[in-house]
Amino acid sequence: METSENEAWLDLVGISADPPERRDKCEQCKRPAVVCWCPALPHPPEAVASQIVILQHPAEEKRSLRTALMLQLGLAPGKCVVYKGKRFPNHKNHAELQRILDSPTTLLLYPSRDSVPLEEVDRSAGPYTLVLIDGTWPQAKAIYASSPALHSLRQVKLIAVGISDYIIRTQPTEGCLSTLETAAQCLAVLESRPELRQSLVRPLHTLCKYQLDNGAVEHQSKEFLLKNNQYPKPIGKRLSRLLNYSNTVCGGGNDT
């Protein structure tokens, strides 16, 4: 018995006090080096006249596959700014953000009944600052409702959004896009540079390819599954409202 206790003690004291080695991480994207998407970023970063301002719900920060960082790194410094919170402006960013919201060249991408197609905005009156709300649709609506400063902004929407390339994530509707894709499409319109979308979205393609090559499966939107009688459970009230809203107001809808 004593021998067993001595062996156990020797095993215990033999354990290294140093923490185990962690996988090397990329300094830019903070992802493990093996899944780093930085080589797919535009080099040099895209120089644009417009600016993107992202109002990000705190829950988005916890997602492992965030796309806002891809946008920040893909654009020239200062061309994509992220503010976090559930109400804007807030005590952390009031003065800086309020100046942006007060500018006559600031637009809010929000698919309301009063929003106009971004494609119809007079681009000669720019450059513009485009505000995006980053979160699920319920989170985006809550941020908008609790932020009166956003209500006076000119509201715009995208018409021809296509289908998301973020194929490893289930989108609610066919027209829902990731934050990166939404911003890239908007910049392509505002800058009159159609090639911008492909350039900025390339890191997302790299990420999805790696995931698919390592066991992930391609996801269809919930709207697609419903149309093809493949949705595995009863449709809930929230999804039903989103589908109806996207068809009547957004012409397909956007994922903010």
- pLDDT of the residue at 256: 39
Residue 19 covered by a domain:
no
> In total, how many domains does the chain have?
1
Query: Cα separations (Å) of 174 from 170, 224, 247?
Result: 10, 7, 10
Residue 129 covered by a domain:
yes
- pLDDT of the residue at 217: 44
Residue 7 covered by a domain:
no
Q: Which domain holds residue 166?
A: 40-251
- pLDDT of the residue at 159: 82
DSSP calls for 155-221: EEE-S-----S-TTS--SSTT---HHHHHHHHHHHHTT-THHHHHHHHHHHHHHHHHHHTT--PPPP
> What is the rounded CA–CA span in Å between residue 15 and residue 158?
58
Q: List, in sequence order, every residue forming a beta bridge with 55; answer none if it has no partner.
A: 83, 133
Residue 53 covered by a domain:
yes
- pLDDT of the residue at 245: 45
The DSSP output letter for 237 is H
Residue 75 covered by a domain:
yes
Residue 165 covered by a domain:
yes
Task: Give the pair of three-digit tokens for residue 6.
Answer: 């001595």
Residue 2 covered by a domain:
no
- pLDDT of the residue at 235: 55
Q: Return averaged pLDDT per consecutive 10 residues of the chain, 256 residues in all.
A: 57 52 79 89 97 93 75 96 94 91 96 91 95 90 95 90 52 65 93 95 84 56 48 55 45 37
Residue 114 covered by a domain:
yes
- pLDDT of the residue at 32: 87
